[in-house]
Structure 1
């Protein structure tokens, strides 16, 4: 089975050959909406090989998580809801490792008349940002670590205790977790390791680093494969940040480094008297720290994500950075030679990987282009340091920070910022109007 993405540049003839050799009859064509959910259409292989792509309503970029439509700057109710055109990126064509007869491909979204990139298409925007790095002489390497929770088929936790790193527990879950790893591998995604995580019913799978777009595509496919294979084995999987009261949250840790055009890691040691070692790494880091509050609404896009922000839970709660410290927002992994990197620990596991990467990369560029002061390194326990700024502890606060930041408009464009803000304010209004189980149980029989 030839599952890995095709060598660049791929052609329809390449896709036809691989489909024929692997019995592919259907192609699952992906784009990713603003929430990070995979959307698209299933095309018979014969239709896919015409190369025409497909059209889909552009309102898909601004509806809510349940596909309800609300007015936004991107799609007003009197806008007639026109189409956008999905153009398969043939370099991403691969045989699916979890379902027979299926292949997948990522799509670039464009205006059907002008053929320009759709302003809300985060994947396309990341591609443009990577060209900015190339103009400075750099390529970007990324890796993602995502945690998720496993539930029974009727959404009950599979455990009420924590078994972090337990191999006994890992073997119990190997029928499903091993099947997930196998499906990832068969789909051309290299797995480094899996383990039982800190939370009850929680698992983590680490993917091997690679070039930025490939890794972001793999992250989307990873979440899709986890959900599909879990269902095939009688489980449900969720990347919701905090699905269990009192339990550990699920995060998306993004490891990132820059290489020169010869492939040398420019974050690696140059000045060992400086804890960060590399001036390029220091400047990139300064941009991340400087813009953390503006990016929080992207890294933590749902109301539930803010339940994850708890001191001493390995979720960062302050604006800070440190060396190999899992309680800070940006963990600097130095003295690792070619593996020297920054691990940004802000994002929830349910965030849109393309938007998260776009924010981080633009923040890094901001640091490279500006002489920013870098606040002192946090050592030991950052939660005990009262001098550190606290991050926003509600979606409402973080959306305000995002919408008011000039950096946000530079990084994402005005139409995206205004639309994203409107989407989040609609989400907040829906939550505010809903009577929760907690409220009912708290008050109904005594007031």
Structure 2
């Protein structure tokens, strides 16, 4: 019993001051990396009892599009000090599977000083540490997955330049205060009962349920959970017993213990959650957002990415695979603005210009030939023959007979006319 109490005290101590022992050298070598936090945030930190150089932690929520910064107070617990709208992230809800699938990672990651990049092409950046032990145990691949500025993403979490300056400053100050690494918890959505109910039929649900245990531990303790991987699963706040240690991420989990206070609080939390989950299942909730359909869809997108990087003409948006196996792709085609793409586009433009010139030359030749034929036909046609025009005789007027006179005189006139003629 005393041993368990001692281990529980050790765990709480570890959770309270994780990464704060020792010293770290950290040099900022660009003006934007040297920018200090705004006075308003510094005043809020002071009001909440947060030393300027105390440890930090970050949480990312894809569906809500948020990055939260949590900072340790003098009592050892963490409180949120800032929240930022993600400017852009690519892919869908669900984990990253392979290089080129354009998925932003989900899981528990650690950022160390050497992962901070003060001279990033994206203003400022830090590598989140993908792939971690869990990702590698599942054969997941990818590199250079960042939180950075410039509001442009191909698998990263991209912020505005002003936002990344502040987020970077939180990490920089914590490292200067002695924190050796800070945790990033990346989730598909806030893991509430209502949201879990919405996605209960999703292929990624088992993975998300595993992440939720770490989410819940933080919600209960307000201390970043101790994260390990065994049997290819995340496990949280487990302290090996009898001198055992966590080995490879694929190895069996060692015997472990947890503080009784944590176990009791977690059981109570789960009871409340399960009641809320059952209620949410039977209520009207918003429709779920699109999620990645596993490795098969990741492979389709990865192949699209490779073609795009080579400068080939591809659909302007990556293909999508529904969970029933139907592939959807946009009809509009385009190229990436890359050296390979520019070269191929220039070759296509030159070929199109050459074809257009040839067609114009052909049309001109055809028009010239048609004109020549018309001129020849006109020259060879016989002269027209003139014909005499006979004038039409004028019509002869016919004199009408004189009108008969009435009565005796008229009768006498007719008799004389009949005797001698008219």
* Fold equivalence (TM over 0.5): no
User: In proportion to residue count, which structure has more strand?
Assistant: 1
Higher Rg of the two aligned structures = 2
TM-score (norm 2): 0.28
